[in-house]
Amino acid sequence: MNEQRGYVNHISRFVLLPGVGEAISLLNKNNHLVVVTSNQSGVAQGYFPVNLVHEIHELMKQELAKDGAYLDGVYFCPHHPHGVVSEYKKECRCRKPGIGLIERARVELDIDMQRSYVIGDRWLDIDFAYNANLPGILVLTGYGRGDFEYIVPHKRLKPTFVAEDLLRAVTWILQQDSS
């Protein structure tokens, strides 16, 4: 959703990509729940406080609202098995590609898994989708193009669909709904 600049370790580093608001508002209007999941191991590593993650999520929601878009849920994993912040140093179930975040969202938001998809710009998200038994869509924005060129060819598991960007991924999902 946002520009990739390594860790978003400061609020000034968060920039929404063009077309993201439009893509999410399309999902909103077509009765899809929109849930954001992320690994924020920088919290466990002591790179930034957990509050920054909340601030960035608020900013994300404000930016989306400008396009009339909203998120139904935002879930993140602050942990890392080798973290330095004791509270967050652990082997958890929520670090992607583990499916703890999806499980939590499924229960809290009563998600219909038969109509659900995972969209991401990392190979990790395709692994995550597979683990959750959902179709995985790789977008070529952010890290996506690099992961598509250099990682996907070496994997037996493939994305269900590869989209130039989030808007095209969403368009494809809406086509699946009606087919």
CB of 22 to Zn ion, least distance (A): 31
Q: What does DSSP say about strands 161-163 and 136-139: parallel, antiparallel, or unpaired?
A: parallel
Find how far residue 177's CA is from the centre of its chain.
21
Helix (H) or strand (E) holding 45: helix 42-45
Nearest to Zn ion of 17, 43 (CB atom): 43
Give 73's strand partners: 35
Nearest to Zn ion of 127, 165 (CB atom): 127
Cα angle 92, 94, 100; round to 5? 120
The residues of the shown chain that bind Zn ion, judged by CB under 5 A, are 77, 79, 92, 94-95
CB of 76 to Zn ion, least distance (A): 8
Nearest to Zn ion of 23, 77 (CB atom): 77
CB of 101 to Zn ion, least distance (A): 8
Collect all residues with Cβ–Cβ distance below 8 Å to 40 and sequence separation of at least 6: 50, 53, 76, 77, 78
Helix (H) or strand (E) holding 106: helix 100-109
Nearest to Zn ion of 92, 174 (CB atom): 92
CB of 108 to Zn ion, least distance (A): 16
